[in-house]
Chain A
Amino acid sequence: MNAQAMWLNPWISGLSFAESVPQWLLTACGLVLVYCLVIVPSGAVMGYLERKLSADFQARVGPNRAGPAGVLQPVADLLKLLQKQAAGDWNWREAIWLLVHTMALYSTVAVIPLGSLLLLVDTDMSAFLPFWSALVLALGTMFLGLSQGSVPGWFGGIRVAAQALAGAFPALIALLCAGIRAGGFRWSEIAAAQSSSPLLWTAAANPFQFIAFFVFVISGLVLLGIPPMDAAFSAPDIHGGVASHLSGRKLTVFRLGRFYCFLLWSVIAVVLFLGGWALPFGLSTELRNADNPRLLQVLELCWLLAKTFLLVLVVTWIAKVNPRSRVDQVTDFAWRVLSPFSLFALIGASLVAGWGAL
């Protein structure tokens, strides 16, 4: 637990109350700060980028009213949704499953890797933790849909479960590939096995890791139901699935959760395969030697998020120019294409790792 609050130390060490505050309180504050300062703004940026990019592809203008070039549109959306009246009666089942869904989602804030000094949980199992959260998230989302007692909710919930089951297997196998190269599933080990140069990234280490990277990203889309694999949340045929009965504040929570899913998966993919937070030109070592942890934290975070947003943009690009896949085709694709390829990549990566160990 100490590690969770340790990143706060360079910021509060000069303050007199730092020693007297209990550790658990610092940890909680750290999580809230990461959520408010990193996750929510990232969600806003992703939402804006996604809307502008899709507008460009479709020869539209996109958001252009709130602020210069519409950059304040996410804020405007948030404020509008927050003040909307809740539609329908209070449904305690729905509320409970929305709570489960949200807790599963944001439990990952504790394990998300955001930089060498911003590793909140760094254990031997830490790379697996987001997966269990993703599976619990799928469970919560499924029951959220089933508890609504509506046709879109039912179909959305069942589709969420089907996609999560189909996507989890190849995603886990692809994670094993990265772990085999790094020699462990500790975030710091995985990051240490790579460097800032793209040639030293795990994805570029050998063709098997390259396949594993693709499988990891695509199966993440399937697992979490992110476009273009978002048949579980599709608007035309099931009215947004689980989201169809949510409105106002609940919809805000849910929609932010969708963005957070995407962000989480992209961050993990970048850390596992695309060099993580390693700064170029040896800046990381220099800053560590110069004992400047604050600048190191900020720069690493920005570098990691920049890579993440690039990955998000590429996925959004693909999602916007390709039709949404039907749910049976998505699961079919995950079982029949992603899974064999992930196993192939795992065997190849194991052989390469074994060859190196000889």
Chain B
Amino acid sequence: MTGGPPMMRGSVFSTILGYLRDVLWGIRSVWGSCLTAIPYLFGSGELSKEVTEQYPDPISSKIADDLPPRSRGFLVNDIERCTGCKECERQCPVQCICVEAEPATDDTKIWVSVFDIDFSKCVFCGICAEVCQPASLKHTKNFEGAVYELPELVASFGRGWVTPEQRLKWAKLRQQIEDDRVTL
């Protein structure tokens, strides 16, 4: 608020002058920002172009192949390689993975009966894919998941529940393998 020569500093005159200078500065600042906006309205260059990605119209504006290589889309689990270790279920910060597994014919063979991922809860953090020892759980690049009902967002990769007869058969097989090992 103070300006002008030193002998005038603090006087009524300099105070008023400083006040008026501040007001003028405010007006000029507002006017300047208004001018800045003009090329966005009427210009023909880069500034007047919209930067909006009008997904999904046109349809081809962004497809999965356009995404960067490490982008995280929906998860997919290769159930052949999955060991049912439940590490992903334990690490998931939002508890969206549900795994049920039981031993099959022998200790190295695991029957993953349930492997459900609820994508309505998933935050796509990628921790599950990182901790997956057999590297069966991976991110795809697919990101279009619009559905009409929430349950449709649950992806099931499990092999299905085991019947009691099957379980008995496997128990017998395991017993037989154990017996063979003992006799050898």
Q: Please give the residue numbers on chain A whose beta carbons come within 8 Å of chain B beta carbons, in ascending order.
A: 53, 55-61, 317-318, 320-322, 337, 341
Q: Is the beta-carbon distance between A317 and B40 smaller than 8 angstroms?
A: no
Which residue of chain B lies nearest to A228 when distances are taken between CB atoms in the complex? B30
From A61, A337, A341, give the contact of B50 (CB < 8 A).
Answer: A61
Q: Do A321 and B34 contact each other (CB < 8 Å), given the known contacts A57-B40, A57-B41, A337-B23?
A: yes
Query: Given that A56-B41, A60-B52, A337-B23 are contacting pairs, would A322 and B47 also be in contact in the complex, using a CB cutoff of 8 Å?
Result: no
Question: Could you list some 15 contacts between A and B, CB below 8 A?
Answer: A53-B41, A55-B50, A57-B37, A58-B40, A59-B47, A59-B48, A59-B50, A60-B50, A60-B52, A318-B34, A320-B37, A321-B36, A322-B30, A322-B33, A337-B23
- Across-interface contacts of B30 in A (CB, < 8 A): 318, 322
The answer on a CB contact under 8 Å between B34 and A56 is no
| Contact size range, B | 10 to 19
How many pairs, one residue from A and one from B, have CB atoms within 8 Å of each other in the complex?
36
Partner of B40, one of A56, A61, A341: A56
The contact string, 1 if C-beta is below 8 Å from chain A, for chain B 113-149, is 0000000000000000000000000000000000000
Contacts of A317 in B (CB 8 A): 34, 37
Is the beta-carbon distance between B49 and A61 smaller than 8 angstroms? Answer: no
A164 to chain B, nearest CB (A): 22
Residue of B23, B26, B33, B54 touching A61 (CB-CB under 8 A): B54
Q: Which residues from 22 to 72 on chain B have a C-beta closer than 8 Å to any C-beta of chain A?
A: 23, 26, 30, 33-34, 36-37, 40-41, 47-52, 54
**Distance A29 CA – B49 CA, assembled complex (angstroms):** 47
CB distance from A256 to the nearest CB of B (A): 27
* B interface, over-half SS: helix
Please give me the 5 A-B residue pairs with the lowest Cβ-Cβ distance, nearest first: A321-B33, A321-B37, A61-B52, A59-B51, A61-B50
Beyond A60-B50, A321-B33, 5 additional pairs, beta carbon < 8 A: A60-B51, A61-B52, A61-B54, A318-B30, A321-B37
Measured in the bound complex, the distance between the Cα atoms of B136 and A169 in whole Å is 72
B18 nearest CB across to chain A (Å): 13
Give the distance in Å from the alpha carbon of A322 to the alpha carbon of B41 in the complex.
16
Which residues does chain B contribute within 8 Å of A60, judged by CB atoms? 50-52
Assembled-state Cα–Cα distance A53/B40 (Å): 10
B40/A59 in contact, CB under 8 A? yes
A341 vs B50: C-alpha distance in the bound complex, in angstroms?
Answer: 41
In the complex, what residue of chain A is closest to B53 when comparing beta carbons?
A61
Contacts of A59 in B (CB 8 A): 40, 47-52
- Nearest CB to that of B29 among chain A residues? A322
| CA of A173 to CA of B52, assembled, Å | 45
B19 to chain A minimum Cβ distance, whole angstroms, is 8
What is the CA–CA distance of A173 and B118 in the complex, to the nearest angstrom?
Answer: 64
The chain B residue with its CB closest to the CB of A336 is B19
B26, B30, B47, B52 interface centre (most CB from chain A within 10 Å)? B52
A309 to chain B: closest CB distance in Å? 16
Task: Kindly state the separation between the CA atoms of A341 and B34 in the bound complex, as whole angstroms.
Answer: 23
Q: Which residues of B contact A56 (CB under 8 A)?
A: 40-41, 48
Cα distance A341–B20 in the bound complex, in angstroms? 10
- Chain A residues within 8 Å of B49, by CB: 59
Residues of A within 8 Å of B34, CB to CB, are 317-318, 321
A341–B23 Cα gap in the complex (Å)?
Answer: 10
The residues of B that contact A58 with a CB separation of less than 8 Å are 40
Q: How far is the CB of A54 from chain B (nearest CB, A)?
A: 10
With a CB–CB cut-off of 8 A, which chain A residues contact B47? 59
Q: Which of chain A's residues has its CB closest to B54's CB?
A: A61
Q: What chain B residues lie within 8 Å of A53 (beta carbons)?
A: 41
> From residue B55, how far is it (CB to closest CB) to chain A in Å?
12
- Hey, what's the 0/1 contact readout for B3-28 against A, CB within 8 Å counting as 1? 00000000000000000000100100
Q: How far is the CA of A61 from the CA of B54 in the complex (A)?
A: 9
The residue of chain B having its C-beta at the shortest distance from the C-beta of A214 within the complex is B27
Closest B residue to A337 by beta carbon equals B23
